[in-house]
Amino acid sequence: MLLHEGFTNQAKRIPDKVCLHFEDRDVTYDELYRRVKRLANAILSLDLQKGEKVSVLLSNCMEFFEIIFGVSRAGLCLVPVNYRLVADEVEYIVDNSDSKALIFGPEYKSLVEELVPRLSKVNNYIAVGGEAPSWANDYEELLARADESEPPVTVEETDLRALGYTSGTTGFPKGVVVHHTFVPPEILAGEWGEIKEDDVTLITGPLFHLSHGNFGPQQLYFGGKCVIMKSFKAEEALRLIEEHKITRIFALPTAFNWILGLPDQVKDTYDMRSVSFVCSAGSPLHKEAKLELMELFPNAELYDFYGATEIGVCTNLNMRKEMSKIDSVGHLAFGAEVRIVDDEGRDVPLGTPGTLYMKNVDAEFYNNPEATSASRMGEWFTAGDMLFMDEDGYYYIADRKQDMIISGGENVYPAEVERVLYTHPNVHEAAVIGVPDEKWGESVKAIVVLKDGEGSTADEIMEYCNSRLAGYKKPRSVDFMDELPKNAMGKILKRVLRETYWEGHDRRVS
């Protein structure tokens, strides 16, 4: 079944039920359904053809759900863009995806206006909220001119639904191809608990992330309600949980760490007993945090899973029921087939780290056959993560994609940051690593060797990166060395650099 079909069925069955709450607004299934059809017809009226790409640069809002379903119903392909990126990074994604339209919010009008002369493939700009500039269509005016008939497009499960861009190890984003098949098998199997019509889901993270952008629509697929946070604030999340009797929460470990970091007197103010399902993903969650979450949400089943945009959900851990394996990311999820192999593609023994591949014959990167080929091994595909399996069939993350850093749930590839550092006139060599950070899990540290006779400070280096990198990619600290450790081939040994900073920590990533 297609993404928009599940929602459409519920809109016809329970039209007057509230399906979305955002700030001070409620929207019913019927109201959302009518606007979804109007949006689909409006976009098609701009001469976009089935399968063409629509980029979206938008903060969390009610309209984001309209766009998710409306673009799907029009048979177009959604390209959600990380709003934390700077202009050059946004330009790359919009251009690489071959997007013909760009929908943007008022916060990003100046950024988009800067890019208009450079985005030669984009024929239509659509402004959501605020006053639309002269070079863009007004979102509400477009909808007002469109009708509510079913759009004249037939969508198949094999059609392209979305491109989820992730950073590449070379520093260039890669667009993961996502088809229209919607409900993951582990949901149908009830492996994460049954999703019910009376469930209320809290949307904690940015909808440009496919994880959050899928978790919300899943709730509407089953006739429930979503409460949308514009941006995550720990105490605000607790307030919404109590006020709306939230039953289901999906969040990145960083969000849970912020909640757990609140003073006890603040946490004790709110009633968490309505919550029956809590799921963490994006990076491993510390054992201590898992135990604290069990206390905070006394009636909830808590899940931790490993997966990636490229390959889907691989493993799943029910924390309460599998306490003896709480350090793991669980057993294989329903329907998942994986291999853990060495550099020669040979299966590794139990307990030995290797690269995890999942059976996925359809996985590919858009407009990037080289990256697709590098990640494929026959019918198996990898996100590049290193895991190992124990004798009981539980999986553990041993390392991340090569030297990838996960900071606040965002993937940061050192090569991307190093590329900027090497443009600094005083930098001779640079290496970027992730170091422990109580708030973010990992933070970005730059280690710099200056050119002979040149001087610089940590603050100056960080300031240099400010306008050249998205906020979550910027170095949070800078150390200076006279020489970086290297192997016989001259390769910088980041493992050696990390050892000092991770000494005494029970795992290298968090």
Q: Write down the pLDDT at residue 146.
A: 97
505 φ, ψ to 5°?
A: -95, 145
CB 250, CB 434: distance < 8 Å? no
Bridge partners of 126, per DSSP, are 103, 137
**What pTM was computed for the model?**
0.82
CB 435 within 8 A of CB 405: no
Closest-CA residue to 142 (of 155, 127, 156): 127
* Final residue in a domain of this structure, among 162, 182, 202: 182
Please indicate, yes or no, if residue 103 is contained in any of the structural domains: yes
**Phi and psi, residue 48, nearest 5°:** -85, 140
**How high is the pLDDT of residue 258?**
84
Give Cα separations from 430 to 404, 473, 485 (angstroms). Answer: 16, 15, 11
Is residue 29 included in any domain, yes or no?
yes
Q: Looking at the predicted structure, is the pLDDT value of residue 403 above 60? A: yes
412 — pLDDT class (breaks 50, 70, 90): confident
How much is the pLDDT for 185?
52
Evaluate whether 370 touches 482 at the Cβ level (below 8 Å).
no
Tens of pLDDT, residue by residue over 459-498, are 999 999 988 898 899 999 999 999 888 754 456 788 888 8
Structural contact between residues 169 and 382, judged by C-beta atoms closer than 8 angstroms: no
C-beta neighbour count of 362 within 10 angstroms: 11
Residues 208-226 pLDDT 10s: 988 887 888 888 988 999 9
Structural domains in the chain (count)? 2
Q: Which amino acid is at 460?
A: E
Is 317's pLDDT higher than 80?
yes
Q: Is residue 107 part of a domain?
A: yes
Q: How far apart are CA 67 and CA 196, in angstroms?
A: 24
- For 485, the token pair is 């450790």
Confidence of residue 187 (pLDDT cuts 50, 70, 90): low
Question: Which residue among 135, 150, 182 closes a domain?
Answer: 182
Return the amino acid letter for 113: E
| CA neighbor of 486 nearest in space, from 495, 477, 478 | 495
The number of CA neighbours under 13 Å toward the Cβ of 389 is 19
Residue 355 located in a structural domain: no
CA gyration radius, the chain = 23
Q: Is residue 346 part of a domain?
A: no
Distance of CA 463 to the CA centre of its chain: 27
For residue 473, being part of any structural domain is answered with yes
pLDDT in tens, 241-294: 999 999 999 998 878 878 988 889 999 999 999 999 999 887 667 777 888 899
The model's pLDDT over 349-365, given as tens digits with 9 standing for 90+, comes to 999 888 999 998 789 99
Q: Given pLDDT bands bounded at 50, 70 and 90, which one contains residue 171? A: low
The dihedrals phi and psi of 64, each to the nearest 5 degrees, come to -65, -40
- 275 within domain boundaries: no
- What per-residue string of b and e applies to 156-194 under the rule 16 or more CB within 10 Å gives b? eeebbbbbbbbbbbeebbbbbbbebbbbbebbeeebbbe
Q: Read off the pLDDT band of 39 (50, 70, 90).
A: very high
307-317 average pLDDT score: 87
CA distance 115 to 119: 6
The mean per-residue pLDDT over the stretch 51-56 comes to 97
Q: Given 182, 199, 214, which residue is the final one in a domain?
A: 182
The residues, any chain, with a CB within 8 Å of residue 151's CB and separated by 6 or more, are 37, 40, 41, 44, 73, 74, 75
Using pLDDT thresholds of 50, 70 and 90, give the confidence band for residue 379.
very high
Cβ-based burial of 244 (10 A; exposed 0-12, middle 13-18, buried ≥19): middle
Average pLDDT of the chain is: 89
CATH, residue 133? 3.40.50.12780
Q: What is the span of the domain harbouring residue 91?
A: 1-182
Of 90, 124, 91, 127, which is closest to residue 107 (Cα–Cα)? 127
**Which region among 136-145, 374-383, 401-410, 445-454 has the lowest average model confidence (pLDDT)?**
401-410
**Beta-strand relationship, 53-57 and 25-28:** unpaired
> How many CB atoms are located within 10 Å of the residue 212 CB?
21
Does residue 115 lie within any of the structural domains?
A: yes
Cβ–Cβ under 8 Å, residues 53 and 100: yes
Q: How confident is the model at residue 183 (pLDDT cuts 50, 70, 90)?
A: low
Cα angle 475, 453, 467 (rounded to 5 degrees) comes to 30
- Lowest-pLDDT choice from 99-113, 115-129, 292-306, 476-490: 476-490
What's residue 168's pLDDT?
Answer: 45
Distances (CA, A) of 27 to 6, 135, 294: 17, 30, 32
| Beta-bridge mates of residue 279 | 250, 303
